[in-house]
Structure 1
Amino acid sequence: MNPGSVPIALFWFLYMAGLGIIFPYLSLYFQENAGLTGIQLGLALAMHPLMGIVASPFWGQWADRSGRRRGALFFLASGSGLGYLLVPHASSFPLLLLCLAFLSTFAAPTMAVASSLSFAVLGKGGAAHFGRIRVWGTVGYLMMILAFPPLLGRMGADVSVAGSTYGLELIFPIAAILCLSAAFVLFWVPSAAAITVRAKREDLAALLKQSSYLRLLAIAFFAFGFLSGPIVLFPVFVAERGGSIETVSRLWIPMLLVEIPLIYFAGAGLNRIGARGLIAAGIACDGTRWLITALAPSLFWIFGVQLLHGAVVVGLIIGMQLYVEEVVPDRLRATGQTVLGTVMSVGAVLSHLWAGTVIEHMGANTPYLISGPISIVLGVYAWFFLRTRAGPTSPMSSTRIWDS
């Protein structure tokens, strides 16, 4: 086993445990505890990807140009922890947006930089083993999903009652502690040439001319443009269907139980159908999930269809990260992942805004009826549109700046 594998896996576990207590309940907290309207909710949720548009390429370029990828991830995780501490203290909507902007400046690029550092730790040919590191993040996420409702119950909250959000503000300090803990684990990641290699000034321009990479960015933009809003607003949808905090928690359990083995064995999928196949399948599965969710007569059926979530994560997230690792040189790992994250953020901003507006004027069911069919078509198209390798005349293969 690579000596850096254990600490980087522990980072994923702690950091994503923090996400596991934030992501499932954040939109519910904003709507019920903070009293935001549908449009305000869309704006608040859009701050994360909006700040990611600016912050992600900055941190990616700084990490690659300086060779301090581990240091960049330390600052990002620490800043995320401090940001979570600020959010519940916002006393007005403009102040809430400022707090979310601060948080998102650090949180938005973190996953991309963490992925690039993980690939560097694994070294040459290690992409097929990425899932075995990344899976620990999902384990941490699941553990917090399971632990939070009982914690609220011990505080006196009745988590089984629809509309009860007592104690939901606890998600922020717990997430902060986990993020700060993850940051300090990085001191145990050993330094290596693949981690400290530096990019050249002209590398970014060449990357943005690389056909295979540009095609991925186009697919990522449309995929996140249609799919980000529905997943972030899912707790609101569940609540409107009569669900409670406990229901939201339980709906995540089948998602994550299937996701864990799928991520762990993502390397097998990579070997069989390639990163392109993983991406296409992930988008189509997500579209299928939301279409069935919109048409389902009860929460029972919605519960069952969430089993597709594991395939979505492996395809839409892991697949795109593996695609970048496949077509981008080592010294641009962080830049390649963060520029992808920037394009995802642009799509997600638009997705949050249109989905929040649609919910306010047309009901919580409508975003899922819109995104489902479109995403199924997009997934099929992605299979034919994406290329798995750079062509012989691409900047990657024909220009000497790509030589290590």
Structure 2
Amino acid sequence: MTGSASADARRVRGLWPFAALSAGYFAHIGFFNPYLPLWLQALGYSLWAIGLLTALQSATRLFAPYLWGWLSDRSGEPVRWLRVCAVMSLVLSLGLWWQPVPVWLPLVLLLLFTHTSAMMPLSETVLAHAVSATGGFDARRYGRVRLWGSLGFLVTVLAAGAWFERHGLGSFPFWANATLVLVVAAVWAMPRWREAPHPHGASGVRVWPVLRQPVVAWFFVALFWHVLAHVFIYIFFSLYLDHLGYGKGVIGALWATAVVVEIGWFFTQGRWLPRLALGQWLVLASALTVARMAATAWGAAWLPVLVLAQCVHAIGFAAHHSVCIALINRHFPGRLRARGQALYSLVGYGCSGVVAGALGGWISSRWGLHAVFVAAMLAATGATAAAAVVRRLGD
């Protein structure tokens, strides 16, 4: 009994480095993603340009996770490459203080996103293995780590909203520098997690046979449409609320509402996830996202409607994310896991993000910001239909 309790304590302590990195990384995301569009607007960029510049983050996810994953796989030292990405991100963020020529800011953002977009897939690969060490994905332990990321996001989205409301957006680069200092500190506090290096193909394990399985293919279709709906929110929600006359403090509070319910879900998901099959959770998450986007599109003039819509984030994002990690862990085991995580990032946050940035910028310029959330509702409808196929095929 004592030995079992001691082993459990050691496993919990072993997860704290991941919790610290999650908190630091999402503290950065918590201010950067919601307020980047407003900062670009303050610099004089058009809606179309803002959509394209914010889409650079998603564009880097088309190649960066595989690039850094390949380096990690070859060396067997994922923490080493996490440290490289963190330090380079901090150095590159210093470039946000200047815009000497028009091409400068797009180049800085491209290089910055190339490094930041790789950190979570690398960390998730090792974390998924750590919480599956006892045989099967442990949703409770994963949720307890992931909620620290939500807490980091919550602190900075509220603090930055209050700061920008009072002092303006001129200090945006400072917030980028400060939060990336936290990321560097968290990554350097991690132990040198090592695994046996193995070049691609050495094990004979191929990813294409897995991707050809109908249930896996439909999972990625559902993932694309579901995350597409959410990326419309990530890019255009702050601009939409600002256009409707909401203050930056209220905007920050609405982002925080979503994160609070997200934290509640991650803390208690070990109790709820076993009640439905993973495929059923996918359907439920996408169906509720349809309702959320419809409420945002047509009910944004009423603050209580927006608050209720943001509460859907607990299922629409948090539950969906945990279910996706569990499905990736199931279908991409062992030496396929890093590539499965890379594909999750590429399809979910790369392809859909690029489409959302470019398409959303065009839609908002032509029909207004309200129309972006109508498009998000349609994307969520497509995700619901694809998730229903996943459920029917057995997941």
TM-score (norm 1): 0.85
Pairing 1:217–2:220 present: yes
Note the C-alpha offset of 1:6: 1.4
Structure 2 equivalent of residue 392 of structure 1: none
SS in 1 for 2:352: helix
- The alignment of Structure 1 onto Structure 2 pairs a total of residues equal to 376
Residues 1:133 and 2:133 aligned together: no
User: Residue 290 of structure 1: which of 289, 293, 296 is its match?
Assistant: 293
Tell me, yes or no, if structure 1 residue 324 matches structure 2 residue 328.
yes
How far the C-alpha of 1:123 sits from its partner, in A, is 4.3
User: Please, which moves more after superposition, 203-212 or 317-326?
Assistant: 203-212
The answer on 1:95 being equivalent to 2:98 is no
| Equivalent pair of 1:14/1:182 in contact (CA under 8 Å) | yes
Which whole-Å deviations, capped at 9, do the CAs of 1:37-61 have from their partners, x for residues lacking one?
1211111011111121121211122
1:64 positional shift: 2.5
**Structure 1 residue 25 and structure 2 residue 25: aligned?**
no
**What's the % identity of the aligned pairs?**
20
* Structure 1 residue identity aligned to 2:279: R
CA distance in structure 1 between the partners assigned to 2:367 and 2:319 by the alignment: 30
The one-letter amino acid of 1:280's match is V
Alpha-carbon separation, structure 2, partners of 1:247 and 1:144: 14
Residue aligned with 2:206, SS = helix
RMSD: 2.4
Q: Distance in 2 between matches of 1:58 and 1:50?
A: 13
1:139-178 mapped onto 2 (5 Å cutoff): 139-152=151-164, 157=167, 166=168, 168-178=169-179
1: CA distance between counterparts of 2:383 and 2:286?
Answer: 7
Give the deviation of 1:73 after TM superposition. 1.9
What is the identity, as a one-letter code, of the residue corresponding to 2:158? L
Partner of 1:402: none
- Aligned: 1:272 with 2:307: no
Q: Describe how 1:5-404 pairs up with structure 2 within 5 A.
A: 5-31=15-41, 33-124=42-133, 125-128=136-139, 129-152=141-164, 157=167, 166=168, 168-191=169-192, 195-196=195-196, 198=198, 200-201=200-201, 206-210=206-210, 211=213, 212-296=215-299, 297-344=301-348, 345-385=350-390
Distance in structure 2 (CA, Å) of the matches to 1:376 and 1:82: 41
Is residue 30–residue 157 contact of structure 2 (8 Å, CA) maintained in 1?
A: yes
CA distance in 1, matches of 2:103, 2:145: 39
2:222 and 2:387 in contact (8 A); partners too: yes
With over 3 angstroms needed to count, the CA separation of the structure-2 counterparts of 1:198 and 1:180, relative to structure 1, is: farther
Q: CA deviation at 1:197?
A: 6.0
> Displacement of 1:172 after TM fit?
3.0
Query: What do the CA deviations read for 1:167-202 (whole angstroms, capped 9, x no partner)?
Result: x24233323333333233334434567x55646426
Structure 2: distance between partners of 1:316 and 1:172? 32
Aligned partners of 2:18 and 2:145 also within 8 Å: yes
Distance in 1 (CA, whole Å) between partners of 2:24 and 2:263 is 16
115-124 or 358-367: which moved more? Answer: 115-124
1:126 is displaced (CA, Å) by 4.9
SS at match of 2:230: helix
Describe the SS at the equivalent of 1:53: coil
User: Alpha carbons of 1:234 and 1:150: their partners in 2 closer, same or farther (altered >3 Å)?
Assistant: closer
Distance 2:85 2:277 in 1: 31
CA distance in 2, matches of 1:281, 1:80: 37
Q: Are the structure 2 counterparts of residues 82 and 388 from structure 1 closer, same or farther at C-alpha, using a change threshold of 3 Å?
A: farther
Look up the SS of the partner of 2:231 in the other structure. Answer: helix
Does the Cα contact within 8 Å between 1:278 and 1:315 map onto a contact in 2? Answer: yes
Taking the aligned partners of 2:22 and 2:163, their CA distance within structure 1 comes to: 23
Whole-Å Cα distance in 1 between the matches of residues 68 and 117 of structure 2?
A: 10
| Matched residue type, 1:266 | Q
Q: Does the aligned pair in 1 maintain the 2:285–2:320 contact within 8 Å? A: yes
Deviation at 1:209, TM superposition (A): 2.2
